[in-house]
Chain A
Amino acid sequence: MARKPDARPNVSKEELLKYYREMLLIRRFEEKAGQLYGMGLIGGFCHLYIGQEAVVVGLEAAAKQGDKRLTSYRDHGHMLACDMDPKGVMAELTGRIGGYSKGKGGSMHMFSKEKHFYGGHGIVGAQVPLGAGLAFADKYLGNDNVTFTYFGDGAANQGQVYETYNMAELWDLPVIFVIENNQYAMGTSVKRSTKSTTLFERGVAYGIPGEQVDGMDVLAVRAAGEKAVAHCRAGKGPYILEMMTYRYRGHSMSDPAKYRTREEVEKIKTEKDCIEHVRDLLLQGGLASEDDLKNIDKEIKALVNEAAEFSKESPEPPLSDLWTDITV
């Protein structure tokens, strides 16, 4: 999607700097995770969020305290965006006791009840009814929280997504279905997996309103998020946001991404990068200087290095932990 520069919502300097900082944190964190993976400190599956940062940062800007979120296995960005501690996230990636799941969950399975982050799900599409269930609980308990339920274009073909759409609209559940359409389900492009490639339109069959959003533009994401949140909080039921986005890296660390051209990736990086976008807004609007941004870069780098150090120093879980947390 082409950017529409004239459709900018009002945004303050502070807000722009905040988004810049948060998106940069996710990117640097993921780059560091990729590095630690290469060093053998992180094992198993590791799915990086690089390129898609504007989606979570923009939507978190539309959320309030008490709102919930959950997503698939590509979850590091979501956790950092909802203010979970980078140290705890990185230490979980390295399988250490200091991780959010005490080393027992790994990259794909992290939770924070405190920050209302409900995973971290490895079964494609499973988080969709789970997210609607969290919304069901909020409605039952009579509060006005909403649940952001993220899933990819691949998950959008799972049957349980549509079972959930049906019940979410039937029961007016306060859930926002966020389709992160990064255009590839592992190696299968959207065009190769469906003839109905405008994914938000599938909600029409269930009476759920929705829209497609430029997911590389944090301000467009925030504006769409505010609209969806208002719809949910007003008790009008679910809303679908199809975020058009792009992942720069492979599906996981072991994916060479041969299903797309280098030119395609480079074009997006050059023309659509979400961090460069905010950087340009800050510099061109005279809201920050190169030096200001350099200082932020330094801060973020230090934060990520600190997380990496913590993730290396935190001990592995004691062997007795094998037998804990199975039942309460």
Chain B
Amino acid sequence: MAVEVLMPALSPTMEEGTLAKWLVKEGDTVKSGQVIAEIETDKATMEFEAVDEGIIGRLLVTEGTAGVKVNTPIAVLLEEGESADAVAAAPAPVVAPTASPMAAAAPAIEAVPAAAAARPAVVEAAKGWPHSDLPEGVATKTMTVREALREAMAEEMRGDGNVFLMGEEVGEYQGAYKISQGLLDEFGPKRVVDTPITEHGFAGIAVGASWGGLRPIVEFMTFNFAMQAIDHIINSAAKTLYMSGGQMGSPIVFRGPNGAAARVGAQHSQDYAAWYAAIPGLKVAMPYSAADAKGLLKTAIRDNNPVIFLENEIMYGRSFEVPVGDDFAIPFGKASVMRAGSDVTLVSFGIGVAHALAAAELLAKEGIEAEVINLRTLRPIDYDTVLASVQKTNRCVTVEEGFPVGSIGDHLASTIMQRAFDYLDAPVVTCTGKDVPMPYAANLEKLALITPAEIVTAVKSVCYR
């Protein structure tokens, strides 16, 4: 019986890809394990192997097609004696979307439906970005968060020969998430340093190098792995300026993806924002958009303090408008008001901003206008912007992906209570990830993460609706 070959998910967060090249043609006999196509994701070009034996009956997607969604049929595989015409007449997708292992990946992608659904609104909201920082009519170009991060590093490395990048797979592999793609070619192995898998050790070496006159950018493949290096981040990098009576600090950036990706389980899905934001001596930035990513990373690299730069894998492929020019940078401690509103203040950062904006759209349909604040940095925090907004709306809901205990939301709630108590018409509600290790099962993972629907419920509760 004929089988449809589906566009595969080749990474935990892949939603679509380019069918770069067919290595077989219609009528070819293929064996299981034979490479039949090259598929390009936003991270890499991957070889795609046939799972079953058979004859290529039809190629449904022509090579070079971009934006092919995961699980789209791309070819038909026939058993001996079957005719491609028969298949065309009576398509028989034996691989039901809910039954095949491939289709099981689909809910994983749905695990972030909010962000995906919010995408048009997000780009829209980013158009006038950043509402308070740049003159009207500034020229912009569309780029992904990934490209923005890369451009920020490349520009700063061009500007200062003592800036260098080190980490696992940053050079010859071109970056585990392709953030550093092309940097080795431009800057060479002296400045794009591949390390062994040894986070504790290379984080310490990087901090030492920062004392020796260099300005390292350390890429962690994920911040989960930075747990191995956290002693050097905190005890060596963050505290030395103080312990040396101001003689020497650590101009260093620790960056990499943070928080949940999709279906990667408990040890690879944790948001460390509140952990690092708790440490005096660090600065902590957490971009939402590509413009944030570029502007904040440039500021981070120029900063003379240790900066924790928390990225998000799901956001890497998203596109936003970014101001043109290599002099563009975003100061730390300055939040961005992404959406004006009078009824409630939503405060978030990183991917949480996508959820907050999606919730704001849903709320607008019900006549509730939410003001959405993107904090952009968590140390320092722009309390003034938050407090001014709360004084206007009299209600506040915080949104973040991290654990609930000792969250950024907890800290903001306490600050608002102490500094704007009389303005509050309702308690501050904190929307966070659930108080559980991240589960693998698609339905449980979805439940563990913060959703726009939960934000809508929280807003209604503080609006007494």
Interface residues of chain A, those whose CB is within 8 Å of chain B, are 68, 99-105, 109-113, 118-123, 126, 128-138, 140-141, 159-160, 163-164, 166-167, 170, 324-328
Contacts and interface: CB of A to CB of B under 8 A. Distances in A.
A128 B210 CA distance: 15
26 contacts: A100-B247, A101-B244, A101-B245, A111-B240, A111-B243, A112-B247, A113-B244, A118-B248, A123-B236, A126-B204, A126-B235, A128-B204, A132-B204, A133-B206, A134-B212, A135-B212, A136-B208, A136-B209, A137-B211, A137-B214, A141-B162, A164-B201, A167-B196, A170-B196, A325-B241, A325-B244
**5 shortest A-B CB distances, which residue pairs?**
A133-B208, A137-B212, A129-B204, A163-B201, A102-B245
Nearest to B206: A133
A101 B249 CA distance: 13
Interface residues of B, number: 40
B236 A327 contact: no
B210 A104 contact: no
A170 to B, nearest CB: 7
Contact of A327 (B203, B245, B305): B305
Contacts of A68: 212
A167 B245 contact: no
B204 A133 contact: yes
B208 A129 contact: yes
Interface string B224-242: 0000000110011000111
A168 to B, nearest CB: 8
Contacts, number: 147
Given A166-B198, A325-B246, A327-B249, 7 more contacts: A100-B247, A126-B232, A128-B204, A129-B202, A130-B211, A136-B209, A327-B305
B241 A326 contact: yes
B201 A129 contact: yes
Given A129-B200, A130-B204, A327-B283, A140 B209 contact: yes
Contacts of A103: 245
A56 B200 CA distance: 27
A196 B208 CA distance: 29
Interface centre among A103, A135, A160 (most CB of B within 10 A): A160
**Residue of A126, A129, A133 with most chain B CB atoms under a 10 A cut-off:** A133
A130 B201 contact: no
A111 B206 contact: no
A118 B231 CA distance: 17
A137 B250 CA distance: 13
B20 to A, nearest CB: 35
Given A164-B205, A325-B241, A126 B236 contact: yes
A237 to B, nearest CB: 14
A113 B248 contact: yes
Contact of B212 (A105, A122, A133, A328): A133
B207 interface: yes
B340 to A, nearest CB: 32
Contact of B249 (A123, A170, A328): A328
Contacts of A327: 241, 249, 281, 283, 305
Contacts of A132: 204-205, 208
A276 B11 CA distance: 68
A152 B208 CA distance: 19
Contacts of A159: 200
A101 B203 CA distance: 24
A327 B195 CA distance: 28
B164 interface: yes
Contacts of A130: 204-205, 207-208, 211, 232, 236
B208 A134 contact: yes
Contacts of B236: 121, 123, 126, 130
Contacts of B241: 325-328
A111 B208 contact: no
Given A100-B245, A129-B232, A137-B213, A166 B190 contact: no
Nearest to B283: A327
B33 interface: no
Contacts of B243: 101, 104-105, 109, 111, 119-120
Contacts of B280: 326
A174 B211 CA distance: 16
A123 B245 CA distance: 19
B391 interface: no
Nearest to B166: A136
- Find the residue from A113, A129, A140 having the highest chain B CB count within 10 A: A129
A167 B246 CA distance: 30
B381 to A, nearest CB: 14
Nearest to B237: A130
A204 B213 CA distance: 31
Contacts of A129: 200-205, 207-208, 232
Nearest to A122: B235
A216 B374 CA distance: 61
Find the residue from A110, A119, A167 having the highest chain B CB count within 10 A. A167
B142 interface: no
Given A137-B212, A137-B214, A167 B244 contact: no
Given A101-B247, A111-B247, A167-B201, A118 B242 contact: no
B425 to A, nearest CB: 35
